[in-house]
């Protein structure tokens, strides 16, 4: 038994039990049912569409598939780290959701001294969990489960603060979470991996390889994410035509990025062969690129163009930017999250700003003030009363102009990146502490330190003819 595995045998159970005690105490003190779940306020005879479970649970179930199966399979592309990629995803996600229910509950669902729990809390918590899992990709294979749990413990509160600032004060358009989820997760993960820099990994690692079977499993994860991404992007949009547009735009963007990914992969790789890394990752770029404007009237053609643009940026990032970051800036982005989530998130922000500037009553009608709620007249404005006659229940807004809102979008992007990067670097400093059972360079990308592996586990990897070494670099 190695020193690291002995440490893990003691520290992982101790950490898990400590976290469970903390959660059960906090749940007992602070968490209760919301109005749709409380038997005092509801009966089992309630009309289905009057209860939130019938409106929200289908989206929750789809996002569950993405979190546990999509991300899990996608992270299993290393031949000797398939157990770690899938199982540590399972462990980290389960804790992150439990923890996010509390953190987000205090920010958004806390009143009368309690956090009021319903299915909508779970959806929000799974978005926070997705943030953690995306950041996990930057340090895949180089961290222990103890480190990952600590990372989730710290990242969720930092994300909660960023979400609170963006949602409560800046009030931006970001229905699909391209800014708040993808950009935040990207730069938090990059901050962590910058601090956990390992010089020995810059020239590759003998175990940093894939096999036919591991690539197949990873593509299965891609397919789960691809199929359920529309639910992810539309889960928290306004019910009705906004949600309908979000579904359509997401599917169109993903379709465009998939076709473009196959074309670019054959064009840029040696001998015109497809790269499995491109199939596993670049095909998903369109889902992020349309995210910030997914509920706007941007037109289907624009959604298609955004899918192509995001795919192109993502592909070029894998080919040229990731090696530069590793060699020049000490950023070993193991899964290329900067390409799939960072670059595409930046493009999505620009697209949303354009959508905001071009939005008008000629295009949206009175619903302009629902989709862009901050543009609704302020309380006491005579125009608000006129609009409420057309749209009963319309709430007073902030009276912002389109140009003012564009500046708020930029402010949200800047503050999100700053909070994420600083939070990630501080988290990385904590994860470097010696008693967190960090795997040695020898055991990076290797399950043997953490699992009871089969007898033939250490057989030679299956050779693949995918072109040059750069062509075989696996990322997601």
Report DSSP letters for 406-425, one per residue: HHHHHHHHHHHHHHHHHHHH
Tens of pLDDT along 44-74? 766 767 778 888 999 999 999 999 999 999 9
Identify the pLDDT of residue 206: 85
Identify the pLDDT of residue 72: 96
pTM for the whole thing?
0.93
| Total length of the chain | 476
**Positions of the chain with pLDDT lower than 70, given as ranges:** 1-6, 45-46, 48, 455-476
Q: List beta partners, residue 32.
A: 116
Going from the N-terminus, what domains does the chain have, and what CATH number goes with each? 3-358+401-453 (1.10.3430.10)
Identify the pLDDT of residue 254: 98
Beta strand pairing status for 31-33 and 114-117? Answer: parallel
Q: 353 exposed, middle or buried (CB, 10 Å; 0-12, 13-18, 19+)?
A: buried
Contact call for residues 319 and 335 (beta carbons, < 8 A):
no
Instruction: Give the angle subtended at the CA of 141 by the CAs of 418 and 209, to the nearest 5°.
Output: 120
Identify the pLDDT of residue 470: 44
Identify the pLDDT of residue 463: 42
Q: Which tokens is 340 given?
A: 């799939």
Instruction: Report the SS3 class of residue 182.
Output: helix
C-alpha to C-alpha distances, 133 to 97, 137, 180, 326, 361, nearest whole angstrom: 11, 7, 14, 21, 40
C-alpha to C-alpha distances, 404 to 31, 357, 401, nearest whole angstrom: 38, 9, 5
Residue closest to 23 by CA, chosen among 89, 88, 90, 96: 96
**How many Cβ atoms sit within 10 Å of the Cβ of residue 259?**
16
Residue appearing with tokens 């620009």: 350
Tens of pLDDT along 338-393? 999 999 999 999 999 999 999 999 999 999 999 999 999 999 899 999 999 999 88
Residue closest to 352 by CA, chosen among 183, 158, 187: 183
Crossing angle for the helix pair 3-30 and 82-108, to the nearest 10 degrees: 30
Report DSSP letters for 95-145, one per residue: HHHHHHHHHHHHHHSEETTEEEE-HHHHHHHHHHHHHHHHHHGGGTTSS-H
Strand ranges across the sheet with 31-33:
31-33, 114-117, 110-111
């Amino acid at each position: 038994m190695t020193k690291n595995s002995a440490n893990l045998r003691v520290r992982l159970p101790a950490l898990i039990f400590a976290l469970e005690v903390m959660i059960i105490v906090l749940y007992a003190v602070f968490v209760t049912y919301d109005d749709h779940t409380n038997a005092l306020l509801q009966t089992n005879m309630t009309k289905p569409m009057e209860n939130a479970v019938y409106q929200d649970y289908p989206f929750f179930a789809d996002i569950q598939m993405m979190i546990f199966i999509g991300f899990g399979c996608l992270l299993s592309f290393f031949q000797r780290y398939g157990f770690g990629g899938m199982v540590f995803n399972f462990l980290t996600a389960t804790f992150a959701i439990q923890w996010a229910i509390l953190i987000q509950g205090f920010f958004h669902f806390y009143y009368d001294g309690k956090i009021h729990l319903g299915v909508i809390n779970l959806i929000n918590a799974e978005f926070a969990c997705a943030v953690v899992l995306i950041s996990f990709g930057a340090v895949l294979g180089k961290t222990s489960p103890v480190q990952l749990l600590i990372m989730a413990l710290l990242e969720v509160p930092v994300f909660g603060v960023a979400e609170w600032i963006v949602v409560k004060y800046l009030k931006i358009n970001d229905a699909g979470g391209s800014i708040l989820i993808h950009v935040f997760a990207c730069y938090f993960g990059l901050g962590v991996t910058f601090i956990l820099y390992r010089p020995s990994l810059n020239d590759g690692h003998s175990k940093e390889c894939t096999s036919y079977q591991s690539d197949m499993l990873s593509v299965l994860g891609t397919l789960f994410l691809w199929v359920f991404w529309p639910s992810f992007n539309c889960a928290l949009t306004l019910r009705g035509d906004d949600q309908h547009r979000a579904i359509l735009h997401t599917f169109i963007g993903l379709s465009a990025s998939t076709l473009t990914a196959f074309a670019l992969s054959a064009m840029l790789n040696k001998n015109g062969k497809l790269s499995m890394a491109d199939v596993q990752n670049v095909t998903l770029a369109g889902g992020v690129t349309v995210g910030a404007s997914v509920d706007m009237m941007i037109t289907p053609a624009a959604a298609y163009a955004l899918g192509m643009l995001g795919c192109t940026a993502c592909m070029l990032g894998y080919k040229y930017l990731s090696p530069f970051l590793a060699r020049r800036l000490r950023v070993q982005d193991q899964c290329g999250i900067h390409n799939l989530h960072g670059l595409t998130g930046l493009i999505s922000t620009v697209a949303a700003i354009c959508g905001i500037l071009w939005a008008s009553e000629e295009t949206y009608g009175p619903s302009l003030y629902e989709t862009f709620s901050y543009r609704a007249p302020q309380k006491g404005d005579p125009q608000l009363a006129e609009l409420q006659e057309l749209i009963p229940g319309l709430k007073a807004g902030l009276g912002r102009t389109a140009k003012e809102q564009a500046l708020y979008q930029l402010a949200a992007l800047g503050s999100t990146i700053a909070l994420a990067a600083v939070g990630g670097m501080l988290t990385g400093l904590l994860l470097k502490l010696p008693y967190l059972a960090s795997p040695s360079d020898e055991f990076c990308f290797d399950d043997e330190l953490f699992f009871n592996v089969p007898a033939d586990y250490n057989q030679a990897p299956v050779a693949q003819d995918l072109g040059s070494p750069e062509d075989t670099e696996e990322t997601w």
